[in-house]
Structure 1
Amino acid sequence: MSKQATAAAAITVVLWASSFVAIRHVGTEFSAGALSLARLGLGSILLGALLFVRPRQEHPVRRWPAKGDWPQLLACGLLWFGVYNVALNEAERRLDAGTAAMLVHIAPLLIAVLAGLTLGEGFPRRLVGGGLVAFAGIVVIGTSASTGHAEIWGVVLCLVAAIAYAVGVVTQKPLLSRLPAAEVTWLACTVGAVSCLPYARTLIDELRTASSGGIWWVVYLAVFPTALGFTTWAFALRRTTAGAMGVTVYAVPVVAIVLGWIFLGETPTLLALAGGALCLAGVAISRRTQRVAATSRN
């Protein structure tokens, strides 16, 4: 991975980790769907402004997507931006930021599987072993949250978000070889925002009662983790493989736990931390296999 791609990936990690804390913070003022619409709607406006205000000389390959690009764009937008955001927002009404981040980040394991199957990036021999370890981690986290049905439902929602995340990344990757990263991100974000329009009435009602601080946190989510974070992600993803980029998000749960402790005064239970460690270990096992296989081929 080039230095530019590495720097872009690092920015993404920090911004996405902060989003778990911000979502947890504003979850008391905004419902899951309304928060998703506000974040994606404003993010789409910002991304569109950046895309079309930029001088044409800096973006000579900008073009409207071909007809064949739209199924992947729609899948990426609906799943990664729409389903992912609504599921995660609802999950964080039940789980702390750190636990949610650990659960969602079994996605790199799913990305490795899907990329191996659909993008020709190689299929890890020990993927089953890594998957079993990660699944054990999920069970441990679920056990730590077994004091009530709401917490278990939070675990399930995080898994839904992880699946949407993984499928979204894999459908996005081929588009980046044909379209500029900024354009793909803007269109996918716009698709996600449109899919959340049924929550418009709820958003209007909640904006009337929300505090100024809560509204500013929503703006933060739109500007930084969404507009900037997804752009830096797409920039890095275009310059490496989907599987390799999946590895970079290992750090997100760690950063999210630290930020949650600093800003929210919350940390996952020891059992949840142990489960999160198992999830990440399972992902690491699967990715290590891919790296070893790639080295042996060289």
Structure 2
Amino acid sequence: MNSNQPSIAIPSSISGTAAALITVLLWASAFPFIRIGLRGFEPIPLAALRFSIAAVLMLAWIAWRRPHLPSSRHIPRLVACAAFGVAAYNMLLNIGQQTVSAGAASFIVNTVPVITALLAILFLGERFRFWAWAGTAISFAGIAVIASGQPGGLRFGNGATLVLAAAACQAAFFILQRPAVVAYGGPVCAALVVCFGAACLAPWLPTALRQAAAAPASVTLAVVYLGIFPAAIGYATWGSAQAHFGASRAANFLYLVPPVATGLAVALAGETPGWLTLAGGALAIAGVALVNTLGRR
């Protein structure tokens, strides 16, 4: 931060921290609200309605701000980001959360940094240190503990494995988006990814609208909330947090998502986490922390 601008230093710090904490709260709330939405919607139509709402808001933002849009050579990359980070991620997460509790799902998804690091080794030629491998092993041990307390465990095709596959899709999204974010900035890329993701999910939108007509009002409002807050506003505040702290420092705030999601699940969905979820979640977070600290030295 420029030391010649002391008058804006404190407000800037506050706004960056506030943006990160708002993101944590909104993204954590998505897990219990998905569970609520699944009471009246099938998993994929739920995702379609959620992101159609978010896309309307993102298009309005683009029309209002008129940002510099990516060139045509970056569009295929952003479409791939949408396919992995919006469509596939939310399909798998929603299907998985039919049987996996909100708190357990949030702990599994929080291993995204570990999976991102593994993908960077495979496709970007990055190298892992000993502590990074140790952290990876601890994180996946935590996932195994969490899964053992969920229906079906870690058997292929069961809820926990689908949530883990969703985390892998989000990790692929983080790898794919890097060049575009560097070139055009996070907010513009996030807006376009949400819009392209909504287009990928559009075939299920008619089904979602039919289900919305039959669903209880509280369930439909939960899906509307998911579209406005965790999807549209959450992506916007995350872009602000990344702009202020940088991607690595901002990512440290995401350690707060699972405990907040677990607390909200108790309050909103009546889900009390079992000791396997809490113990496995602690292991998963410890492993991620190890990868992001000692594993980077």
- TM-score, normalising length: structure 2: 0.87
User: Does structure 1 residue 251 correspond to structure 2 residue 256?
Assistant: yes
**1:146 to 1:212, Cα distance in 2 relative to 1, 3 A:** closer
Report Cα offsets for 1:71-127 as digits up to 9, x if no partner: 321121111111111111111111111011111111122234445776798754421
Q: Take 2:237 and 2:127, find their aligned partners in 1: how far apart are those partners?
A: 25
The residue identity in structure 1 corresponding to 2:219 is: G
Report Cα offsets for 1:145-190 as digits up to 9, x if no partner: 2567999711011101111111212222332222143321111011
Shift of 1:198: 2.2
**1:148 to 1:290, Cα distance in 2 relative to 1, 3 A:** closer
User: Does structure 1 residue 236 correspond to structure 2 residue 275?
Assistant: no
From 135, 139, 160, give the equivalent of 2:140: 135
The 5 A counterparts of 1:66-215 are 66-114=71-119, 123-146=128-151, 153-215=158-220
User: Which residue is 1:296 aligned to?
Assistant: none
Shift of 1:240: 4.7
Contact 2:103 2:277 in 1 (8 A): no
User: Does structure 1 residue 217 correspond to structure 2 residue 197?
Assistant: no
> What is the total number of aligned residue pairs between the two structures?
286
Shift of 1:230: 0.8
SS in 2 for 1:196: helix
Contact 1:145 1:151 in 2 (8 A): no
Report Cα offsets for 1:235-290 as digits up to 9, x if no partner: 32345554443332111010001111112221221112111111111111111214
The residue identity in structure 2 corresponding to 1:273 is: L
Which sections of structure 2, spanning at least 5 residues, go unmatched? 2-11
Which sections of structure 1, spanning at least 5 residues, go unmatched? 57-61, 294-298
Q: Take 1:20 and 1:157, find their aligned partners in 2: how far apart are those partners?
A: 14
User: Does structure 1 residue 48 correspond to structure 2 residue 59?
Assistant: yes
User: Does structure 1 residue 15 correspond to structure 2 residue 26?
Assistant: yes
**1:285 to 1:150, Cα distance in 2 relative to 1, 3 A:** closer
User: Does structure 1 residue 6 correspond to structure 2 residue 17?
Assistant: yes
Contact 1:108 1:249 in 2 (8 A): no
Q: Take 2:123 and 2:155, find their aligned partners in 1: how far apart are those partners?
A: 35
Contact 1:112 1:246 in 2 (8 A): no
Give the alignment's Cα RMSD to 1 decimal. 2.5
The residue identity in structure 1 corresponding to 2:289 is: A
The residue identity in structure 2 corresponding to 1:182 is: P
**1:211 to 1:5, Cα distance in 2 relative to 1, 3 A:** same
Contact 2:147 2:153 in 1 (8 A): no
Q: Take 1:150 and 1:213, find their aligned partners in 2: how far apart are those partners?
A: 33
Q: Take 2:73 and 2:63, find their aligned partners in 1: how far apart are those partners?
A: 23
Q: Give identity over the alignment, percent.
A: 35
SS in 2 for 1:72: helix
Q: Take 1:214 and 1:94, find their aligned partners in 2: how far apart are those partners?
A: 18
